[in-house]
Amino acid sequence: MDRQQEFVLRTLDERDIRFVRLWFTDVLGYLKSVAIAPAELEGAFAEGIGFDGSSIEGFSRVYESDMVAKPDPSTFQVLPWEDADGDHYSARMLCDITMPDGSPSWADPRHVLRRALSRAAEAGFTCYVHPEIEFYLLRDLPDDGTPPVPADTGGYFDQASHDIAPHFRRRCIDSLEAMGISVEFSHHEGGPGQQEIDLRYADALTMADNIMTFRYLVKEVAITQGVRASFMPKPFTQHPGSAMHTHVSLFEGDQNAFHDAAEPYELSKTGKAFVAGVLRHAREMSAVTNQFVNSYKRLVVGGEAPTAVCWGHANRSALVRVPMYSPGKASSRRVEVRSLDSAANPYLAYAVILGAGLKGIAEGYELPPAAEDNVWSLTEGERRAMGYQTLPQNLDGALQAFEQSDLMAEILGEHVYDFFLRNKRSEWDAYRRNVTPYELATYLPTL
C-alpha cells in the first residue's frame, strides 16, 4: 500500500464516501465506469477489478475477455456534488487496464498515450498541452433526428443575459476547479448556445484524463441547470462546429524546446520540425483527430475550421497556427493544432499528434513556408498551385489515408489500429446506407 493509496482510503473514510467510480475509456473515447464500495478498494489497489473486456468497444475478443482495471490513486477526486440521496458524495479514479498477468493491455487508450509519452521521454521531451473545448448547450437532446434547439441565442463573447441557464458556466468552472482541473478562460462562442472553456496547460496524460472528466462534468452540470450539453462535432448545418483546438509544447527539462530567440517568430528548429511532422501526417491522423462521420461536416470551407494542410501565424484558416510570440515568455512558446474536434478520444488524438511531431523531429522534416493568405479565400486551383494538400473530406477518405499509414499503426499499436479501422469502416458503411433529410429536401420535389 503506498502513500497515495492510503490517502485515498483515508479520505473515503473521513468524508464518508459510499461509492467510488472507477473510470476508464474505450477505444472510441466513451467513458466507462464501475462503481465499487470503499471496502473493496483496498483489494482493487492490490489486484485490480476484473471485468469482461469483450463487452467494451475495442478491448478484446470474446474467448479471452478477462481484463483488469487498476485504479491510479493519483487521479483520485471527490465528485463535486451529492449523490441522489442528498447527503453523500462519491469519488472517482481513472484506471489503467492490464491483462490478467499484470502486463499492460495494448487496447487501453491510456496505455497508447503512455507509450507515446515514453517515446517522447526517450528523446528527452515532456509534452504539455492545453485545449480550448467547444460544445453546445441545448434545450434537449432529441434522438429521433429532429434538429436540436440551442439554449440561448448569444454570439461570440456575448454576455447573454436572457440565458435560460445563467449560472451554467460558473457552475461548470466551480465543479472543474473542485476536481483539480484549472480553467484558464471561458466565453460564449460563435453559435447560439455554443460555449468555449479553455483548460490550463498540463502534461498530455493528465490533460487527456481531464478532458474525459470535463465532458462528464459539463453534461452533468447542464442537467442540473435544466439544459443539455453536447460535444457532437457539428450539430447544426448553419452554425459553426465544436472544435478542440489544442496548444502543444515540448519541454527539455525546464526549457521550452519550441523556443529559440534567434529564430524568426522565436520558433526553434525542433518546433519547426514538430509542426512539419504534424502537417505531413495530418491526413493519416484525421481519422483519429476527427473520428466520426459527423466530424467532417465541420471541416468545410468557410467555417472556422481548417480544410487544407498548412500552417500560419495569425492565420485562423491554417491547420496549425503558431501564435504570435509574447516577448519574454520563453516557456509559453507553443503551436496550436486546430483540426481536432470535441468528440475525439483525447488519449489517441494526443498520441498521434505527439507521434507525428516527434517523427518530424527525429527525421528532421523541413517546414514548408507559412501560409500568409486566408486559405478559404483561395480557389481550388490556387490551393493546388501552392501545394496545399486537402484534409480528407469525409470519414471514408480519412480511413483510406489511415489504412496506408504505418506511423499510425506504430503509434496506436496494432491492436487499436486494427480495431479502429474495422469499427470506423462499419460506421461509414452504416452511414452510407442512409437517406438524409438533405437528399429528401433536394431531390424528392424535383425528381
Partner 1 sequence: MTTPPVARDRRPARAPARLGFTEPDAGQRLADLGWWDGDDAVPAAALVVWALARAADPDLALTAVERLRESLGEAWSELEEALRVDQGLRGRLFGVLGGSTALGDHLINQPERWRLLRTVLAPGRVHDTSRMPSAEDRCRTHLDAVGADADADAPVANVTGPSAVELLRLAWRDDVLLLAAADLQSVCEPELPFWPVDAISGQLADVAAAGLEAALAVARAEVGAERVADVRLGVIGMGKCGGRELNYVSDIDVIFLHEGPADAATRLASTMMRVATEAFLEVDANLRPEGRQGQLTRTLDGHVSYYQRWARTWEFQALLKARPVAGDLELGREYCEALAPMVWSAAERDDFVADVRAMRKRVEDHIRHDVADRELKLGRGGLRDVEFAVQLLQLVHGRGDESLRGQNTLETLAALGEGGYIGRDDAANLAASYRFLRMLEHRVQLQRLRRTHLFPSDDDTAGLRWLARAAKLRADGRRDAVGVLQAERSRTTVRVRRLHEKLFYRPLLESVAKVAGSDLVLTEESATRRLAALGWSSPSGALKHVAALTAGTSRAARIQRALLPVLLDQLGHTADPDHGLLAYRKVSEALADTPWFLALLRDEGLAADRLMYVLGTSRWVAEMMPRSPEVLRLLGGDGPTAELVARDPAEVAQSLRAAVARHTDPRSAGNVARSLRRVELLRVACADLLGLTDVASVCRALTGVWAAVLQAALDAAIRERAGDTPAPATIAIIGMGRLGGGELGYGSDADVVAVCEPTEGATDQEATSYARGVVESAIAALGAPSPDPALEVDTKLRPEGRSGPLVRTLSSYADYLRRWAQTWECQALLRARPVAGDEALGQRFTEMIAPYRYPEGGLPDEQATEIRRMKARVDAERLPRGADRALHTKLGTGGLADVEWTVQLLQLQHAAAVPELRTPSTLDALEALQAADLLSASDAAELAAGWTTATRARGIATLVRGKPTDQLPRSGRELAGIASALGFPEDDPGECVDEYRRVTRHARAVVDRVFSAV
Residues 379-408 that bind partner 1 (CB under 8 A): 406
Contacts of 154 (CB under 8 A, 6+ apart): 160, 163, 188, 192, 193
| C-beta of 42 vs 396, nearer to partner 1 | 42
Q: At its nearest, how many Å lie between partner 1 and the CB of residue 275?
A: 27
Q: At its nearest, how many Å lie between partner 1 and the CB of residue 96?
A: 13
The reply on whether position 104 binds partner 1 by CB under 8 A is yes
Contact 275, 366 (CB under 8 A): no
Question: How many residues of this chain bind partner 1 (CB under 8 A)?
Answer: 22
Distances (CA, A) of 446 to 330, 413, 439, 440: 61, 49, 11, 10
Which cell numbers in the block locate residue 283?
491526413
Q: At its nearest, how many Å lie between partner 1 and the CB of residue 106?
A: 4
| C-beta of 8 vs 337, nearer to partner 1 | 8
Give strand pairing partners of 230: 136
| C-beta of 174 vs 403, nearer to partner 1 | 403
The reply on whether position 355 binds partner 1 by CB under 8 A is no
Contacts of 333 (CB under 8 A, 6+ apart): 249, 256, 258, 259, 266, 267, 268, 271, 325
The reply on whether position 415 binds partner 1 by CB under 8 A is yes
Which cell numbers in the block locate residue 108?
487501453
Among the listed residues 25, 105, 289, 339, the single contact to partner 1 using CB under 8 A? 105
| C-beta of 220 vs 410, nearer to partner 1 | 410
Give the number of other Cβ atoms within 10 Å of residue 165's Cβ: 22
φ and ψ of 260, to 5 deg: -150, 110
Distances (CA, A) of 21 to 31, 179, 257, 308: 11, 14, 38, 42
Among the listed residues 43, 50, 100, 302, the single contact to partner 1 using CB under 8 A? 100
Among the listed residues 6, 40, 82, 429, the single contact to partner 1 using CB under 8 A? 6
Please measure the distance between the N-terminal and C-terminal CA atoms of the chain and give it in whole angstroms.
71
The reply on whether position 180 binds partner 1 by CB under 8 A is no
The reply on whether position 438 binds partner 1 by CB under 8 A is no
Q: Looking at 96-104, 158-166, 174-182, 377-385, which segment touches partner 1 (CB under 8 A)?
A: 96-104
Among the listed residues 14, 39, 63, 146, the single contact to partner 1 using CB under 8 A? 63
Q: Looking at 22-30, 55-63, 182-190, 438-446, which segment touches partner 1 (CB under 8 A)?
A: 55-63
Among the listed residues 106, 216, 265, 428, the single contact to partner 1 using CB under 8 A? 106
Cα 26 from Cα 110, distance rounded (Å)? 9
| C-beta of 105 vs 225, nearer to partner 1 | 105
Among the listed residues 14, 85, 87, 101, the single contact to partner 1 using CB under 8 A? 101
The reply on whether position 254 binds partner 1 by CB under 8 A is no
The CA angle 352-288-381, to the nearest 5 degrees, is 95
Contact 414, 105 (CB under 8 A): no
The reply on whether position 410 binds partner 1 by CB under 8 A is yes
Cα 321 from Cα 278, distance rounded (Å)? 11
Among the listed residues 14, 39, 61, 446, the single contact to partner 1 using CB under 8 A? 61
Considering only CA atoms, which of 201, 228, 353, 367 is closest in space to residue 289?
353
Residues 108-167 that bind partner 1 (CB under 8 A): none
Q: Please report, as ranges, the residues that interact with partner 1 according to CB under 8 A.
A: 1-3, 6, 60-61, 63-64, 99-101, 103-106, 406, 409-410, 413-415, 418
